[in-house]
Chains A and B, each alone.
Chain A
Amino acid sequence: MKDVTFGQYYPANSIVHSMNPAVKILLTIAYIVAVFMVKQFYFLGFAACLLAVILITILAKIPFLKVLKSVKAVIFFVLLSAILQLLFNKNGTPLWKGGFITDVGLLTAGFITARIVLMVLGATLLTLTTSPVDLADGIETLLFPLKLIKFPVHEFALIMSIALRFIPTLIDETDRIIKAQKARGADFDSGNIFKRAKALIPVLIPLLISSFRRADELADAMDARCYAGSKKRTKYKKTPFTVSDFFGLVFMAGLIVGVVFLNGFII
């Protein structure tokens, strides 16, 4: 898991990093829409999307390798769908006499691969340039309208932020418990799947119990600091809409127009 960058924040001082997370989430959605707007086999549209990814990566001061690595997380899925297309797409003409791979099959495989990879690259750029905390914050902002239908947006946001806050703590704790049980001769790496699952019990139970204890203590600490739900609560954190957000919007609008335009050209 450690080498997969998907969903890992890469801290840097860039205009992309400093953008409003809510805007960034919207722009990412817009980008994915743009990727889906590319008409079948009009690969120039993908070229425009790739150009956008490259530009954003440069602006965000992130090493390209870091962004590319994210594809690793979906490589199996990508290969599988490409191979399925190659093997079973019977439209078009075979590439060689009596061959089972057709030209349409090959094009479709390439098209699907490009679509998934570009989507993942875009989403990765969001998570690489936005810390999980900011991400949660952005989601909260975007969920705000749901308040109208009585959706507990504030509580939801707090749950997200507490979950994020406890991830490092629980990772440390898991590590410690695994080590403690290993020291008592526990074996997590051998045997069949059932044996391995059973071997995890001495880790999961202490982890579960300590999580309950932590939750209890946290509830006390929150109570002690006058927590009473969202009623009359104010919000300290404010993420303003800045010039870079404006440029982001213009940039993405440009990409969508470009894709629509390029949908008129076929290679």
Chain B
Amino acid sequence: MEQIIAKDLYFTYDKQTPALKGVNFTVQKGEYVAIIGHNGSGKSTLARLLNGLLTPTLGTITVDGIVVGDKKTLFEVRKRVGVVFQNPDNQMVASIVEDEVAFGPENLGVPRKEIKERIDFALSAVGMQDFKRATPSRLSGGQKQRIAIAGVLALKPDVLVLDEATAMLDPQGRKEVLSTVQKLNKEQGVTVVAITHYMEEVTKADRVIVLSDGEMVFTGTPKEIFLKQKELKNLGLEVPLAVYIAQKLKEQGVEIDGDVLTQSDLAEALCKL
């Protein structure tokens, strides 16, 4: 089922240089879509359009058939599409974890008893149930981002948008957040739209959308995208190191079998030689 439909999205901040010029795409329910592009390609603008933080200059987006950007349905959309932002420190309002997670449901006027249930659900979904009374400023970056995800989950969204949510984390934190998101996608069926520039994260997606200068240049599975190494390079993007090594080896006459996306794929292929 198509959950998000974007048609001819056009967006401009200052009426001169459009950030998005006619982007079309759909996202299926339960899909994990990665959006990549160099800095200034329009990918963060897209994240902000998805839950009505920005309104398209031209074109439409619908989520579950509801038009995004209409004032009357704004909260219907934001309930369905949760966004986790880049800087974990700048998206928290409360000094205690459970109050932080409660913020969204409180805004919706959810009764207190249900908020309590939602906090428990959201915190265990991100594996932070033991930190209910903790102070976010004392947590690691990865833990903070998981709290931010929990804060969004407490709204019971169908779609989770990650706007470079791992960019400021160390490798450990990135792994934590990534596996949390994957789990939510697989087990809870949450649709994920992940904007990132870490190519290793792209390998986990079902589908990739490549943006450049406000236009969608490719879309396909990670495997299909990474075949276009040259084109990506021209766009200021790179393939994951494992894919790069695999391609280098092929060029030098080593027969690498199968599709290499990750380092473990490549290790497997090498062992078959």
**Taking beta carbons and an 8 Å cutoff, which residues of A are in contact with B?**
131-133, 158, 161-162, 164-165, 168-169, 213-214, 217-218, 220-228, 232-238
Is B112's CB under 8 angstroms from A234's CB? yes
With both beta carbons as reference points, the residue of chain B lying nearest to A217 in the complex is identified as B90
Is B106's CB under 8 angstroms from A233's CB? yes
A238–B91 Cα distance when bound, in Å, is 23
Contact of A165 among B79, B94, B111, B148 (CB under 8 A): B94
A222–B92 Cα distance when bound, in Å, is 8
Is B90's CB under 8 angstroms from A225's CB? no
Contacts of B112 in A (CB 8 A): 234-236, 238
With both beta carbons as reference points, the residue of chain B lying nearest to A216 in the complex is identified as B90
Contact of B83 among A131, A162, A224 (CB under 8 A): A224
With both beta carbons as reference points, the residue of chain B lying nearest to A224 in the complex is identified as B83
Is A221's CB under 8 angstroms from B85's CB? yes
On whether A235 and B106 interact (CB within 8 A), knowing A224-B78, A224-B82, A225-B78, the answer reads yes
Contacts of A165 in B (CB 8 A): 92-95, 136-137
Q: List 20 A-B contacts (CB under 8 A).
A: A161-B93, A165-B92, A165-B136, A168-B137, A214-B87, A220-B85, A221-B85, A225-B78, A225-B82, A226-B104, A228-B75, A233-B107, A233-B109, A234-B112, A234-B115, A235-B112, A236-B98, A236-B116, A237-B99, A237-B102
Is A226's CB under 8 angstroms from B79's CB? yes
Contacts of B136 in A (CB 8 A): 165
B169 to A: closest C-beta gap in Å: 16
A133–B91 Cα distance when bound, in Å, is 18
With both beta carbons as reference points, the residue of chain A lying nearest to B54 in the complex is identified as A220
A218 to B: closest C-beta gap in Å: 5
On whether A221 and B107 interact (CB within 8 A), knowing A236-B116, A237-B102, the answer reads no
List 15 additional A-B contacts (Cβ < 8 Å) besides A223-B53, A225-B103, A225-B107: A131-B95, A161-B93, A161-B94, A165-B137, A213-B90, A218-B91, A220-B91, A224-B51, A224-B82, A225-B104, A225-B151, A225-B152, A226-B78, A234-B115, A236-B98
Interface residues contributed by chain B, number (CB under 8 Å): 40
Contacts of B105 in A (CB 8 A): 234, 236
Is B109's CB under 8 angstroms from A234's CB? yes
B195 to A: closest C-beta gap in Å: 14
A74 to B: closest C-beta gap in Å: 27
Is B93's CB under 8 angstroms from A217's CB? no
Contacts of A214 in B (CB 8 A): 87, 89-90
Q: At the interface, yes or no: B241 with Cβ under 8 Å from chain A?
A: no
On whether A221 and B95 interact (CB within 8 A), knowing A234-B110, A235-B112, A237-B102, the answer reads no
Contacts of B91 in A (CB 8 A): 217-218, 220-221
Contacts of B107 in A (CB 8 A): 225-228, 233
Top 9 A-B pairs, shortest CB-CB distance: A221-B91, A236-B102, A217-B90, A225-B104, A168-B137, A232-B109, A226-B107, A224-B83, A133-B95
Contact of B93 among A132, A169, A213, A218 (CB under 8 A): A218
A17–B181 Cα distance when bound, in Å, is 38
On whether A220 and B94 interact (CB within 8 A), knowing A168-B137, A225-B103, A235-B106, the answer reads no
Contacts of A221 in B (CB 8 A): 83, 85, 90-93, 148
Q: Which of B62-82 contact A (CB under 8 A)?
A: 75, 78-79, 82
Most chain-A Cβ atoms within 10 A of its Cβ — which of B48, B75, B98, B106? B106
B217 to A: closest C-beta gap in Å: 27
Is B89's CB under 8 angstroms from A162's CB? no
Contacts of A225 in B (CB 8 A): 78, 82, 103-104, 107, 151-152, 155
Q: At the interface, yes or no: B96 with Cβ under 8 Å from chain A?
A: yes
Is A234's CB under 8 angstroms from B87's CB? no
Contacts of B104 in A (CB 8 A): 225-226
Q: At the interface, yes or no: B1 with Cβ under 8 Å from chain A?
A: no
